[in-house]
Amino acid sequence: MTAKRGKKAVETDKAAQPASRGATPKKPVAKKVSASTTKKAVKEKVASQKVGVSQPAPSAAKTHETPAQSRKRTPGKPGADGQNPFRATMRRSRAPEPATMVIFGVTGDLSRRKLLPAIFGLWQDGLLGSAFNIVGVGRQEMTDEQFKDYAIKALQDSKETDAIQPGSLEKFRELLYYEFGEFGEDSVYDLVGKELDRAQEAHGGRKNALFYLSTPPSLFEPISNGLGRLGLADQSEGWRRLVIEKPFGRDLDSARELNAAIHDTWDESQVYRIDHYLGKETVQNLMAIRFGNAIFEPLWNRGYVDHVQITAAEDLGLEGRAGYYEEAGIVRDMLQNHLMQLFALTAMEPPAAFDAEAIRDEKTKVLRAVKPIPLGRVKDVAVRGQYGAGSMDGVKVPGYQEEPGVKEGSRTATYVAVKLEIDNWRWQGVPFFLRTGKRLPKKVTEIAVVFKRAPLGIFPGGLERNVLAFRIQPDEGVSLKFSSKSPGQEMVLREVVMDFRYDAFGAQLESPYSRLLLDALIGDATLFPREDEVDHAWQIVSGILEAWDVRPGKGQTPDFPNYAAGTWGPEEAEELIGEGRRWRRL
């Protein structure tokens, strides 16, 4: 379908446009704040910054011009967060340059539930600078005003949306624009290019653009190529960056093919492969706790650590995603990306510097050092499962094969536990156990470093292992379990927990997408997996995927279902972790 502009006729002569359209952008005016500014003054500063007012939407009565041609950008005015001095103080230095964010697949589920609320939250907190616009691109025919209504309703309905300040929605809708067309045709990319042209004046003469691919994976390559054909990857007039959602490939070969296709147009420094787990505050705190405190790093090795457990449990079933899940399965959906990134951050060596390349270098070294899992080893180091009927919080739920849209007799795994071993000096002999699954008792993600027992048991009753646990979600925080004497006449030890929770900061945690979108706009790639990271992660799971191939006549035939909904997975997972150890009950 060729891109159209609805009922409005296309005006091709730009010189015919009224010269007076659009107001001249106002220059930012900010109060000067001394180094001794109090938190109260910081809040007043954020609230008082004036950066210009967006141009109102064109009048519907002017039918001789298309909405795209009648737009002349003026900077949007960011909202002010007067109730969160922590976020204002910490993030004011991270405001990006003026830019346009282009979201392909803007009417999809991810954009509606996650992206639009995250962008709105950043804008309302004054973190997107003085000039920012959003161009939604989709295949659904829609006018600008219809898209604005759609986006505002999405913000009002989403649980992810921050508390809405009075008047914010009205101002935010002025930043929204829409183009539609088929992603395989050049016409839609031509319209996107014209949007960047029109934003140039309000953006200080630059055409900075962040292209977000919130689409099915099959469209990654066509959109990348389309942007390249129309010259939209060229950075001569401003930076251009491409954000790609998971899954990045279906297996090792397809991931390499996709990387090669993208690199035909884009330099690796322009590509941001997003994994929202890396935007979670506690994941980032893993590095801070480990490398910022002298008491932890000396113990972070085979001399003191018995094993490490990484758990990402989900209590939900398919939630209408049977088509996707039947193709992907738990290994592609969770293990290859989310859990592999948590594993790499936990096991990496200290980076030479806290910058993107140094950190990603160390993560890649860990993934490269993982002991290979060929077909012959899969049965010894990996367990799969599929949930059957059970109950969640006292409510009966169907098994996977009874879910709408699931093929009869499906062999798709909904649970995986795997034992990884690292062939390097630090971790030789220390197993890392990773597990993830659906319809487990609760939604929780945790990294637990389990230490060895004291070498001599001089106290009655024996000793439990110390555990340093990072709670990624929910109840974000860090806890340390150790033994202490119970009050009384006798020497009796009991386990106690020293607990830190993020709500101690008195600040609302940003959503992972807020953090990662801001990083991408700024150009900080620290929390985005690099090409070689993705490649090595696929290499690690390739043997597992081959052994568990769900195609008829391929792979091993599993005895599914093998765990009931509402339990912690199949019994074989307990055998995997080995004698003298047990999975943490979270």
Does residue 474 have a cis bond before it (omega within 30 degrees)?
yes
- Structure-block tokens of residue 388: 């059957």
Is the CB of residue 389 less than 8 Å from the CB of residue 565? yes
Using N-to-C axis directions, what is the helix angle for 116-124 and 144-157, rounded to 10°? 80
Angle at alpha carbon of residue 114, lines to 157 and 321, rounded to 5°? 90
Residue 408 Cα distances to 174, 318, 326, 401, 411, angstroms: 49, 15, 11, 6, 9
Is the CB of residue 345 less than 8 Å from the CB of residue 363? yes
Active site residue 338: yes
Count of other CB atoms within 10 angstroms of residue 234: 13
The 3-class secondary structure across 420-453, one letter per residue, is ECECCCCCCCCCEEEEEECCCCCCEEEEEEEECC
- Closest to 23 (Cα-Cα) out of 70, 89, 73, 58: 73
Give SS3 for 136. Answer: strand
- Structure-block tokens of residue 542: 């390739």
- Beta-bridge partners for 465: none
Q: What is the DSSP string of 131-188?
A: -EEEEEEESS---HHHHHHHHHHHHHH-TTPPPPPTTHHHHHGGGEEEEE--TTSHHH
Selecting among 203, 276, 307, 338, the annotated active-site residue is 338
Identity (one letter) of the amino acid at 289? I
Dmax over CA atoms of the chain, in Å, equals: 94
Euclidean distance between CA atoms 157 and 298, whole angstroms: 48
- Beta-bridge partners for 378: none
Is the CB of residue 55 less than 8 Å from the CB of residue 18? no
351 CB-near residues (< 8 Å, 6+ apart) = 358, 359, 361, 362
Euclidean distance between CA atoms 234 and 230, whole angstroms: 9
Helix extents (H) in 200-300: 220-229, 252-263, 281-291
Euclidean distance between CA atoms 377 and 122, whole angstroms: 47
Identity (one letter) of the amino acid at 298? P
Euclidean distance between CA atoms 480 and 476, whole angstroms: 14
**Residue ranges of E strands in 130-222:** 132-138, 176-180, 209-213
DSSP for residue 280 = S
Q: Residue 574, exposed/middle/buried by CB under 10 A (0-12, 13-18, 19+)?
A: middle
Rounded to an integer, what is the distance from CA 41 to the centroid of its chain? 33
**Which positions are annotated as active-site residues?**
338
